[in-house]
Structure 1
Amino acid sequence: MNTIKKYKFWIIGGVIVLLGLAAFGLNRTKNSSAAETESNETAVAFIGDLAESATASGQIMAQQEAALSLAASGIVDQVLVDVGDQVNAGDVLVQLDTAALERAVASAQADVAVAQANLDKLLAGADAAELASAEAAVASAQVKLDDLLDGPTAEEIAASEASVKAAQANTWGASGKVQASNDVSEADILAAEADLQDALDQQQAAHDTWVRLADCEVNEAGTYSCTPSDHPQMDAATQNVEAANAQAAIAQARLEELRSPDSNNVASSQASLASSAAQYDAAVARHEALLAGASDEEIAAAEADLANAQAALDKLLTGASDTDIKMQEIRLAQAETTLRDAQLKLANATLTAPFAGVVTAVHVSEGELASGLAVEIVNPDSLEAVLSVDEIDVGQLAIGQPATITLETWPNEEIAGEITAIAPSAASNGGLVTYEVHLSLADTELPVRVGMTANANLLTDSREDVLLVPNAALTADREKGTYTVNLVRTAEDGTTNITQVEVSIGLKDNRNTQITDGLVEGDVVLIGELTAPTTTSRFGPPR
């Protein structure tokens, strides 16, 4: 009995001890959870908006900028801009000297006009005046050839003989003057007067013959107006008149000389004799040639002249050939090409602004021989931010996504932007692969300049009205690819329990993460890793 009681005592005592230990452990757990909760910050899961973004840096550049070069070399006549000047599209920036170029254009224009006129003439054919002139040329050439083939006429022989006689008479007269220059008698004067009268009679007869053969008409004054006709004997009549006139003039001079002797008559008479002798020899030579007839060379030349005149007439009658027209069209095209080249060179002597902008550099000055780069301009309204974006982030970007831009010059001033272009190929620098991304700039009062360093925050995605917790509340298991939070729950009796809960996440920014599963709005989570207060555990009652 005592043994049984003894065993019961120990059993009851053991139970009491176990219950005491359990109570002690429970109290310690309760105190530990409360202490752990108090040692960590907590946050409440809430509904809010979230935007995911990437950052990148780059430079401010202009979409429109140009380094303008002179298309041709030349002397600079005018430099019309300075650095900083505002220009409009088409404004003249630099003007080369164009005097020689303008002359070249004028000459080329004249050549084109001539070539066009010649082509028009070929296409239009000959007019009546041209045909009449060509026909007259053929007739004249035919008459000349016929005259050569027929030989001299009786009238031509007579006229030639008259010329020889006149020349001979002149020579005799000159000889007589030499002989009689120092001894003039009354008989000599009478003889000279008789000679003059004979010469005047011959002159009148020759003149009457010429008038009879010529075309004459009475004019308003009542006198005759005569012109040589086409009569075959007209040339001979003309020669007879000339010879008679010469003979009369000589007789008149001889008579005057006899009537008025001069101390210089001897020398003058000798010179006159020499001239008369030469004229006589020439008249004899012409007469002999006339009697001999035309030479083979003269006939051949006359035949060639006739053939050429006939060919010219035939060409006018038949019109221009296709070959002639084609050749003239080629000449016109060549002239037009030369004109275009001259006009282009003239235009290239003027450097103009291709767009509105600001002059950033001027590389030429007036009076120098210049070529190549002359002026640089940039369009300040076309500024953009060009960023180098890491390949990790570029996949999340798309044209049209918004961005916020800050500049190193004004780090606290934000400029709105938007992605306008993403380079299709990457650039690699030191193993870092990046893509060029272009951002537009919203209107700003900041004096933004090309080359400034730009930093951008690129909005890649966003969510509205989603469940969020601070990023620091999440713990990631990289090996498993999972995320957990420490969920804090408070029981009805006031005790606090901390439970590790696996959650699914969505977007995140630099502060919060979207929770898609595992939590509800209002849940309390610990911030950071779970930490316990420093305590000293021992067996036995507390001191």
Structure 2
Amino acid sequence: MWIGGIVLLLIMVAAAALPRLASGAAARQQETLVDDSETVTAVIGDLSANATASGKVQAQRAAQLALAQSGTVAEVFVQVGDAVTTDDPLLKLDTAALERAVLNAEQSLVIQEANLAALREPASAADLAAAEANAASAEVALSEALAGPSENEIAQAEANLRAAEAEIAAAAAQLSSARSGASEAELQAAQIQLNLAQTAATQAAEQHSGILVTEAEGFLTAEMLSDMEFAARTQALQANANLAAAQETVNQLLNGDSSSIATASAQVALAAPAVMQLRRIWTCCYLALPQHRLPRRRATLAQAQANVDQLRRGPAESQLVQMETAVEQARIALQRAQNNLAEATLTAPFAGTVTAVHVHAGEEANGILVEMVDPASLEVVLDVDEVDIGKINEGQPATLTLESWPDVEITAEVVSIAPTTTQDNSAVVSYQVYLRLGENDLPVLVGMTANANLITDEVKDVLLVPNGAITANREKGTFTVNRMTTDAEGVASFEEVEVTIGLRDGRFTQITSGLNEGDELLVGTLTPRFQFGNGDGPPEGGGGGPFGGG
């Protein structure tokens, strides 16, 4: 225990010269003091009681920062120890995709706003004229549907259909004929021609070969042999050509003429769509009677007339609401895209100091990325024993020292007390008490150890005496002091006086009754000194003790 911020003026009088004692028998019986005794004076002063506790320096404002979205870190702007201000960028993700999303959202908003503006614009004369023309055309179509097709239209449609059917039938017959092949007689005749051609080709080849080995002699000159060889070769070539033609004829009769089949197939393919179209027209002319065509024609006319009416009166309220909603949705989408882009940059939520950076450029941003504290918001968090917590209140003053500077006292104030105990495995029950640091010039850091003295009680302008001047009777529970008095002749004596005490610390005690300011008191043991020559003996003593210590 100690006295915090209290100055007491104590008059300490050394007992170097003892008071003058009376002479005679009275003097021999007077109590006197031993040489180590001293006197003090009861004074008016201030007194306080304290509780001690230790804790750590923490920051009221500390942040572990993360991004709302993941991505690749493009750049880190800070490092540990950097001082930052509010909204300073700490790191940034790769934002190429986010920037494209913002651009797309901006374009969508422009389109929706343009659609809304166009809807609010009154119809132009050209638009109204076009709508009226469509309505008139629909009305004519309805009238024609009511009248039905004429006899000439029906006859012409039937004639066209019959002609197309005949054309496709002829093409189909030709295709069938080409695919069916030749008769037996045609095949036999062609085979005979093929055999004759084969024989002729063989003979021509042999004749040509014989001429080639013949030598000129006698009347058969070389010139004559040359002419004969040319004629034989020409005849052999012609025979081979005839043989090839005969073979082709047989092949066509056996397999059909591929060119004829292709031509006939093309004719059928071309004729088929025309027949289908003419059949639709024919069906329309006969089956599309007024009762079948009228509903569609009437619906077309009604829609055309509704378009004209809408252009004349402007958009309906529901259309405006729908388009305005679309614009608002586009605006929200743009805001969301812009927010996503902004959230790709991690910024400082307050001014402070960076204490940790957990990511580098090129890495994926996940979890806690940057940590920081506000050095201006430092506080001390104490663990106060439950024995003392009842004496602690918000607003109480305190003093503390830091392990780094044990000789420097810092003023502080209790700002809050935790409503629940500290959760740990210790058997000691303690509560966290938060102190606000007073002004100081020390470079205080988060995590430093602090030792605090909490002023639990305080009295001002009260009567104080040193603890050593008070004797406690443990059996009776009373307290006494030895008050010095001086008679008219200047003879000093001491009187035992019972007092009532109040607040007490390690050195001084408050006296609430029994003494007055200025009373001189004995500090130490009152030891009687006797002259034994006259049969006097020491008096019997009884059991009190000094009220010392703390």
TM-score (norm 2): 0.61
CA contact (8 A) 2:28 2:531 kept: no
Write out aligned runs for 1:207-218 (5 A). Answer: none
Letter of the 1:484 partner, please give it.
T
1:75 aligns with 2:80: no
CA contact (8 A) 1:108 1:339 kept: yes
1:510 aligns with 2:502: no
The correspondence for 1:409, drawn from 404, 415, 420, is: 404
Displacement after TM superposition at 1:333 (Å): 4.3
After superposition, what is the alpha-carbon deviation per residue over 1:301-344, rounded to whole angstroms, capped at 9, x for unaligned? 66654444334334434544444444444444443443343333
After superposition, what is the alpha-carbon deviation per residue over 1:40-59, rounded to whole angstroms, capped at 9, x for unaligned? 34322234443444333221
The correspondence for 1:109, drawn from 106, 109, 115, is: 106
CA contact (8 A) 2:397 2:413 kept: yes
Alpha-carbon separation, structure 2, partners of 1:474 and 1:101: 81
Alpha-carbon separation, structure 1, partners of 2:487 and 2:515: 18
Write out aligned runs for 1:253-272 (5 A). Answer: none
Aligned-residue Cα RMSD (Å) equals 4.6
Alpha-carbon separation, structure 1, partners of 2:311 and 2:58: 71
Structure 1 unaligned spans of 5+: 1-22, 162-270
Alpha-carbon separation, structure 1, partners of 2:389 and 2:279: 113
Displacement after TM superposition at 1:454 (Å): 1.0
1:56 aligns with 2:53: yes
1:349 aligns with 2:344: yes
Write out aligned runs for 1:142-221 (5 A). Answer: 142-144=139-141, 151=149
The correspondence for 2:470, drawn from 471, 474, 477, is: 474
CA contact (8 A) 1:152 1:290 kept: no
Alpha-carbon separation, structure 2, partners of 1:342 and 1:428: 44
After superposition, what is the alpha-carbon deviation per residue over 1:234-283, rounded to whole angstroms, capped at 9, x for unaligned? xxxxxxxxxxxxxxxxxxxxxxxxxxxxxxxxxxxxx9xx99xx89x979
Partner SS state of residue 413, structure 1: strand
Partner SS state of residue 447, structure 2: coil
Letter of the 1:375 partner, please give it.
V
The correspondence for 1:296, drawn from 269, 288, 295, is: 288
The correspondence for 1:376, drawn from 371, 377, 386, is: 371
The correspondence for 1:456, drawn from 452, 475, 479, is: 452
- The 1:511/1:128 distance shift into structure 2, 3 A limit, reads farther
- The 1:111/1:390 distance shift into structure 2, 3 A limit, reads same
CA contact (8 A) 1:59 1:452 kept: yes
CA contact (8 A) 1:39 1:532 kept: no
Letter of the 1:135 partner, please give it.
E
Tell me the equivalent position of 2:480.
Answer: 484
- The 1:388/1:481 distance shift into structure 2, 3 A limit, reads farther
TM-score (norm 1): 0.61
CA contact (8 A) 1:105 1:343 kept: yes
The correspondence for 1:527, drawn from 523, 526, 535, is: 523
After superposition, what is the alpha-carbon deviation per residue over 1:355-406, rounded to whole angstroms, capped at 9, x for unaligned? 0000000111111221221111111111122223344544554444433221
After superposition, what is the alpha-carbon deviation per residue over 1:166-198, rounded to whole angstroms, capped at 9, x for unaligned? xxxxxxxxxxxxxxxxxxxxxxxxxxxxxxxxx
Alpha-carbon separation, structure 1, partners of 2:148 and 2:140: 10
Tell me the equivalent position of 1:364.
Answer: 359
Tell me the equivalent position of 2:210.
Answer: none
- The 1:477/1:295 distance shift into structure 2, 3 A limit, reads farther
Letter of the 1:381 partner, please give it.
A
Alpha-carbon separation, structure 1, partners of 2:94 and 2:45: 71
Q: How many residues align?
A: 408
Displacement after TM superposition at 1:113 (Å): 3.7
Letter of the 1:64 partner, please give it.
R
- The 1:330/1:60 distance shift into structure 2, 3 A limit, reads same
- The 1:141/1:495 distance shift into structure 2, 3 A limit, reads same
Partner SS state of residue 373, structure 1: coil
Alpha-carbon separation, structure 1, partners of 2:34 and 2:492: 8
CA contact (8 A) 2:398 2:452 kept: yes
Letter of the 1:526 partner, please give it.
L
Tell me the equivalent position of 2:442.
Answer: 446
CA contact (8 A) 2:105 2:333 kept: yes
Q: Report the more deviating stretch, 486-495 or 128-137.
A: 486-495
CA contact (8 A) 1:39 1:531 kept: no
Q: Report the more deviating stretch, 75-84 or 485-494.
A: 485-494
Letter of the 1:296 partner, please give it.
A
- The 1:333/1:469 distance shift into structure 2, 3 A limit, reads same
Letter of the 1:344 partner, please give it.
N
CA contact (8 A) 2:391 2:456 kept: yes
Displacement after TM superposition at 1:78 (Å): 1.5
The correspondence for 1:134, drawn from 99, 123, 131, is: 131
Alpha-carbon separation, structure 2, partners of 1:380 and 1:24: 77
Displacement after TM superposition at 1:87 (Å): 0.4
Displacement after TM superposition at 1:99 (Å): 1.9
Alpha-carbon separation, structure 2, partners of 1:324 and 1:412: 80
- The 1:540/1:529 distance shift into structure 2, 3 A limit, reads closer
Query: What fraction of aligned residue pairs are identical, expressed as a percent?
Result: 47
1:86 aligns with 2:78: no
Letter of the 2:74 partner, please give it.
D
CA contact (8 A) 2:66 2:369 kept: yes
- The 1:463/1:541 distance shift into structure 2, 3 A limit, reads closer
Alpha-carbon separation, structure 1, partners of 2:357 and 2:505: 48
Write out aligned runs for 1:432-443 (5 A). Answer: 432-443=428-439
Displacement after TM superposition at 1:117 (Å): 4.0
Alpha-carbon separation, structure 1, partners of 2:112 and 2:286: 43
Partner SS state of residue 368, structure 2: strand
After superposition, what is the alpha-carbon deviation per residue over 1:399-442, rounded to whole angstroms, capped at 9, x for unaligned? 44433221011100122223333444554764544443322223
Alpha-carbon separation, structure 1, partners of 2:279 and 2:55: 108
Write out aligned runs for 1:39-50 (5 A). Answer: 39-50=36-47
After superposition, what is the alpha-carbon deviation per residue over 1:138-179, rounded to whole angstroms, capped at 9, x for unaligned? 233444555675658999x99xx9xxxxxxxxxxxxxxxxxx
